[in-house]
Amino acid sequence: MMNIERFEAYLDEGRLIRGKWTSQDVRGRATACWLAALFDEVAAHGSASACPADQLPPWLASLIPWMDDSGTLGRWRGFAQRLIAALKISRTEVQWYRAEYAVRAICVREAMRHTAYEPSVEVCKRVADLADAVAAGGLRDGAAWSEAASAASALASSSASTAWRAAWSEAAATAAASAAWSEAAAASAAAVPASALAAAAAASDKIIDGILSVLEGHAA
């Protein structure tokens, strides 16, 4: 069962961590990442796949560890507070489904910001627009998605194919977010490594902020 109260307590007590599922602090207190604090099953198995699907959609469960680890430290606590509030909102299955596609669109649009190759940008836009349409309540058009997949395949090594995989893979949100992180780092490849990491973390902040905005206000 999801334990939001423990998540809140761990945040208040400084017991939430990044980069590990569980650990202990210097005072010997149990610590946990966001998802492990929320679910005993995750803490026990060290895997997002252990999260009960009837408690949290698998796409979001797979994304929360990335959200915990990937943004800037300065915004990390605020993001945790927003996630706590968002998880207290009751949603129908349809609302979760539409939220998933809204998140996919956000992630793909951030990934496409980091390429200047026009054919890739155009395919990324098509993928993001299709996800937006589903998020807005439209039916998923199989033909349109297939056409976008074909266009992405024609640009096999580009960010267009990355965006397609991100928008339509089983781990869609995680793949999209990771793609945007990689694209941001690549965009700063000429800079010193610290600058590349800073650019990637800034891109991650934008994605996390967008995801939380969806969870806070997405309505069916």
Integer Cα distance of 7 and 172 in angstroms: 25
Range 1-28 average pLDDT:
97
Structure token pair of residue 149: 């997949």
pLDDT of residue 220: 43
pLDDT of residue 202: 82
pLDDT of residue 110: 77
**What confidence tens digit (pLDDT) does each residue in 31-65 have?**
999 999 999 999 999 999 999 999 999 889 988 99
Q: What is the mean pLDDT of the chain?
A: 82
Confidence band of 144 (pLDDT split at 50, 70, 90): confident
pLDDT of residue 160: 59
Query: Residues 109, 114, 120, CA angle at the centre, nearest 5°?
Result: 70
Q: Is pLDDT of 185 > 70?
A: no
pLDDT of residue 23: 97
The whole-model pTM stands at 0.83
Structure token pair of residue 193: 């490594």
pLDDT of residue 172: 46
Q: Is 109 left (phi over 0), alpha (psi -120 to 50) or beta?
A: alpha
**What confidence tens digit (pLDDT) does each residue in 117-137 have?**
677 778 778 888 888 998 999
Range 192-216 average pLDDT:
81
Confidence band of 170 (pLDDT split at 50, 70, 90): very low
